[in-house]
């Protein structure tokens, strides 16, 4: 009897590859007869950062590595860089589409003789690969690495377009979207929604989702009940499986491995006393904004661990050149400033009490897993609407800002120290009811993947579906 094989096509980015690999391992643990092939798209630098290193580390640390293999595709020419300047989303859509022939050839030429391919699991940004699945007669599925609320927004684009025929504007009235319990202000929509190229790219992505046999979301039903229910009642959608959270709890190695120094510093801090500030791998703040944030930290008198990604043109680690004169000296007894930080280990530490975050979905799930409440400071991608959902719909975060954004659309410039300080004091307040709700969600996020939990049941259901064919 032939074994079942699933083929995955993750998007070329660590934030997508990591949850995809974790999802794959959880599937393999459910069925010993299943094997998985990962087809890896590795664009040219700088779009390939960390991919090879993660695959090597994953392969050496995974107990089921004999049942998962990686096929690395050759690189193709990048789309014109002016496309990236106009719209990162459209640039990546063009890039992924150009890999379709290579993905098809990789599946045909690397098929195991003793397996039957039962599905092609495609990243949310790779939905053009539905064409490859159709050509080869393989059932296609989408793995949506963000949340159910944002999936609902992507699907809402087709309704909006049929009624308005245009991208969004900051002057649009509040929007009634099925996947959000509250009306959504236009200023918390993702930046791509305001530009024709990015808007069109996501409009097209969402249209392809409806052509698949199912959508797998890196979330869990207890976290986003309203959004999940709205998707379940969507008349045009295939089955939706909430199968998360899939997290890299081992953490990834940074540019400089100062983990030991950071963890030693945390060990010396009292329990639940430290505010962690980290804005993701792409989160670079302007120098003026860094200085306002530094002033807020100094005035708040809280203990803090601050991970700073250096602005372009600044020498790595020269924090004293970016921050107010004397700041590092005045706060050395209660604060630590670093470059890279081992985020999952910091969030897991008993000293960590709050997290000023960009609200990327992986970071959001990590903060909930460890029971650390967030103060929202979104920068790009879908982070603004994630922040809105966490603050307004779910009441699991403190609002610092929901409409802050990097890039072309400005919401009024620099966040001032007083506003930041108020949010810091709020997130660190031990009596804040958000803290209790986040602790409760921490427990639920761990239970859902245990036998009988909602995500475990959903994973089982998906597995039965593909195996029954």
Catalytic pick among 16, 226, 358, 370: 16
CATH number for 3-244+449-468: choose from 3.20.20.100, 3.40.50.2000, 3.30.70.100, 3.30.1330.60: 3.40.50.2000
Give the range with max mean pLDDT: 29-43, 274-288, 290-304.
Answer: 290-304
Domain 259-444 in CATH 3.20.20.70? The answer is no
| Per-domain residue ranges of the chain | 3-244+449-468, 259-444
- Cβ(223)–Cβ(445) under 8 Å? yes
Residue 46: per-residue pLDDT:
66
Which single residue is written with the structure tokens 């949850």? 19
**Distance in angstroms (rounded) separating the CA atoms of residues 53 and 449:** 27
**Distance in angstroms (rounded) separating the CA atoms of residues 105 and 92:** 21
pLDDT at 256 over 80: no
Which single residue is written with the structure tokens 């944002």? 150
pLDDT in tens, 102-142: 999 999 999 888 899 999 999 999 999 999 999 999 999 99
pLDDT at 254 over 60: no
Residue 59: per-residue pLDDT:
82
pLDDT band at 249 (very low <50, low <70, confident <90, very high): confident
Establish whether 123 is a catalytic residue. Answer: yes
Catalytic pick among 48, 112, 123, 226: 123
- Cβ(111)–Cβ(137) under 8 Å? no
- The count of other CB atoms within 10 Å of the CB of residue 118 is 20
Establish whether 226 is a catalytic residue. Answer: no
Instruction: Cite the beta strand spans of 103-139 per DSSP E.
Output: 115-123
Angle, in degrees to the nearest 10, between helices 148-164 and 225-232: 50
Task: Find the mean pLDDT for residues 210-234.
Answer: 97
pLDDT in tens, 66-78: 899 999 999 998 8
**Distance in angstroms (rounded) separating the CA atoms of residues 335 and 328:** 8
Print the SS3 string covering 176-217: CCCCCCCCECHHHCCHHHHCHHHHHHHHHHHHHHCCCCCEEE
Which single residue is written with the structure tokens 């690999």? 21
- The count of other CB atoms within 10 Å of the CB of residue 245 is 23
* End-to-end CA, the chain: 15
- Cβ(128)–Cβ(15) under 8 Å? no
pLDDT in tens, 336-392: 999 989 999 999 999 999 999 999 999 999 999 999 999 999 998 899 999 999 999
Higher pLDDT, 252 or 139: 139
Q: Which residue, 98, 99, 95, is CA-closest to 84?
A: 95
Two domains, one topology: 3-244+449-468 and 259-444: yes
pLDDT at 408 over 60: no
């Amino acid at each position: 009897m032939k074994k079942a094989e699933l083929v995955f096509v993750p998007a070329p980015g660590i934030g997508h590859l990591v949850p995809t690999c974790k999802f794959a391992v959880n599937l393999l643990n459910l069925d010993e007869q299943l094997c998985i092939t990962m087809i890896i798209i590795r664009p040219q630098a700088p779009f390939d950062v960390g991919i090879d290193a993660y695959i090597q580390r994953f392969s050496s640390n995974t107990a089921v590595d004999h049942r998962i293999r990686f096929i690395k595709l050759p690189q193709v020419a990048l789309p014109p860089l002016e496309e990236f300047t106009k719209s990162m989303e459209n640039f990546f859509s063009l890039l992924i589409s150009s890999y379709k022939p290579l993905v098809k050839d990789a599946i045909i030429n690397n098929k195991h003789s003793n397996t039957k391919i039962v599905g092609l699991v495609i990243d949310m940004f790779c939905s053009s690969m539905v064409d490859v699945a159709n050509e080869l007669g393989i059932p296609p599925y989408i793995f949506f690495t963000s949340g159910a609320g944002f999936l609902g927004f992507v699907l809402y684009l087709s309704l909006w377009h049929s009624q308005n025929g245009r991208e969004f504007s900051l002057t649009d009235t509040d929007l009634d979207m099925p996947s959000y319990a509250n009306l959504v202000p236009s200023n918390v929509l993702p930046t791509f929604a305001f530009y024709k190229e990015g808007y069109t790219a996501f409009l097209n992505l969402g249209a392809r989702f409806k052509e698949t046999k199912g959508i797998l979301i890196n979330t869990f039903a207890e976290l986003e009940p309203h959004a999940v229910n709205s998707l379940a009642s969507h008349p045009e959608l295939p089955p939706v499986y909430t199968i998360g959270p899939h997290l890299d709890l081992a953490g990834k190695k940074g540019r400089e491995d100062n983990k030991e120094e950071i963890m030693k510093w945390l060990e010396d801090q009292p329990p639940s006393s430290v505010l962690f500030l980290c804005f993701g791998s792409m989160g670079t703040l302007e120098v003026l904004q860094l200085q306002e944030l530094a002033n807020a930290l100094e005035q708040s008198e809280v203990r803090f661990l601050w991970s700073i990604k250096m602005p372009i043109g600044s020498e790595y680690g020269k924090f004293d050149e970016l921050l107010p004169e004397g700041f590092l000296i005045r706060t050395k007894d209660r604060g630590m400033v670093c470059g890279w930080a081992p985020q999952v280990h910091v969030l897991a530490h008993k000293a960590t009490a709050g997290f000023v975050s960009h609200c990327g979905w992986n970071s959001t799930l990590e903060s909930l897993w460890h029971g650390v409440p967030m103060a929202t400071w979104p920068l790009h991608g879908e982070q603004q609407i994630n922040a809105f959902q966490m603050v307004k719909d779910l009441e699991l975060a403190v609002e610092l800002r929901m409409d802050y954004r990097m890039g072309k659309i400005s919401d009024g410039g620099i966040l001032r120290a007083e506003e930041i300080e108020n949010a810091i004091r709020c997130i660190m307040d031990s009596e804040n009811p958000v803290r209790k709700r986040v602790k409760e969600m921490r427990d639920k996020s761990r239970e859902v993947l245990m036998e009988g939990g909602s995500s475990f049941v959903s994973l089982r259901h998906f597995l039965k579906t593909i195996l029954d064919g």
